[in-house]
Structure 1
Amino acid sequence: MATTAAVLAFVQAGLTTITTLLMWVGLFGSGGDFEALPLILTIAQTIGIVLLIMGGVQVLGGKSRNLLIAGAALELAICVTWLLQFAMAESEGIDLLEDLKAGGIAIAIGFAVMPALIIFMSVSRQTSEYLRSRRR
């Protein structure tokens, strides 16, 4: 369980890195007119990447699961924020915009699956036993 949680964290960090790099490029391509929410989400995603990688390394080393859980929880919060952004987007009845909105919601839900699994696996009895055995 601990190894699987760490591997999922690395995969989630990789996927999040792709979207975060695109967001950083978009922010710097905007000519310096940063809007607050995209900037906050981009910074939060960057922090989430770091926490997931560091947390995965710590769990594999048998040290702690705290950073891994924090990173996964942050990723879930980011997913909820994106989900709400897509859900509240105005489509004015235009089919293409409705489809894009539904696609965005589906992607946000998809990005939330691994962090939820990471948290579930990180707090499992097997992971607790693994971490306890490595501390001796």
Structure 2
Amino acid sequence: MKKDIIIPEVEGVYVAAVKEFNETHRTNDWNAYLINDTGEPLEMVLIVSKGYSAKQTTSQMRHKLQTLPAKAFAKIEFIEDSVLKLTNEFAVTFFKNGKLFDKKFIFPANSIQDSKAGPLPSMLKEGVLAE
């Protein structure tokens, strides 16, 4: 039964938006990162992202990471400027120590901006953490 499945609370795992210089296009772009600030690796990480508002919805993007080591991070995707005005959601599912974890990370509409950037766990960069 679905009610019998216990999914533990996610701690020490984050999704962050980081503004970085793109050498190819010579622009400053926002990129989404998955951060593992725990002492254990994450395995079979599945990420589904989408942007939405009352009037607009983007297509879903799906990503997979076989393993994300402890105290490490991985780039998920580029965040186009036109979707910054939308609520951006990243549904992250993974295994850690043989247990299934699942959490939705949300960037509310217009929350990804330079003025809201701060230090990020396990990264030597500044960015905006999802809720």
Note whether the superposition's TM-score is higher than 0.5. Answer: no
Larger radius of gyration: 1
Higher relative CO (Cα under 8 Å, sequence separation at least 6) belongs to 1
Give the TM-score normalised by the residue count of structure 1: 0.24
Give the TM-score normalised by the residue count of structure 2: 0.25
Q: Which has the higher strand share?
A: 2
Q: Which has the higher helix share?
A: 1
